[in-house]
Structure 1
Amino acid sequence: MLPARHRLTERADFAATIRGRGTTRHGSRLLVVHARPAAHATATDARGPASRVGLVVSKAVGNAVVRTRVKRRLRAQAGEILPHLPPGTDLVVRANPAAAEASSAELGAAMRHCVRDLLVDEDI
């Protein structure tokens, strides 16, 4: 489970991360990752701006059971890469239909690959 400060929950934040100015994206067969740089950080506390992750898993991925399983796996993988993100970075991870058949390790590898390509100076 992602801590509350690391969750992207507002519709406007999702829209800004997916379609906003200065955002980038990278995709694979399993998922697409959209990144919004730290310059737009709004969620801050005593520890500084928080990196946040939002998940989009549509009905095209499968029924409710399959979607929930994919979200749970993506959340676990996102928790592992959060410490490696620059502070204040927002990510939206959109699952493609092929994610329904992927293992947790495959989803994690795809997510790390996409994030590594988006944030070239980070070692994830």
Structure 2
Amino acid sequence: MAAPVLLAGLHVRLLQAGFGQSAGVPATLVGMELSSDGGAGAYFVRECQSDSLQEEPVQRVSPNRVELPPGSVVCLGGLSAGPSRLRPLEGRRATLRGSLPDGRRLLAVEGESAFVRLLPRQLLP
């Protein structure tokens, strides 16, 4: 499976520790790495420091630490090995509606009547 095309300079929040433990810092998504099951293995981000003249280095971080902005359109991946009720959603498009306290993301999935809750590694920008 080829990596999806990322929107250049997608603005995200880089969470500092765990699920929902920090408001996070602004960052830019510059790339991603897929795992063997088609989910996001890692995101590559660059922090946005307004008071620095030098460009920050690119960091490789867990998908759990990257919060995509609400309203982002994502493709669902990494579901083929998950619960059987989620497998038909593999490859579908969804719109991010928010984050939940347990770290999952709330999505409106095309063709579904109710919101779906998925882990960040199952969202491919």
Do both share a fold (TM > 0.5)? Answer: no
Higher share of residues assigned strand = 2
Q: Which has the higher contact order (CA 8 A, sep 6+)?
A: 1
User: When the two structures are superposed, what TM-score results if normalisation uses the length of structure 2?
Assistant: 0.26
Higher share of residues assigned helix = 1
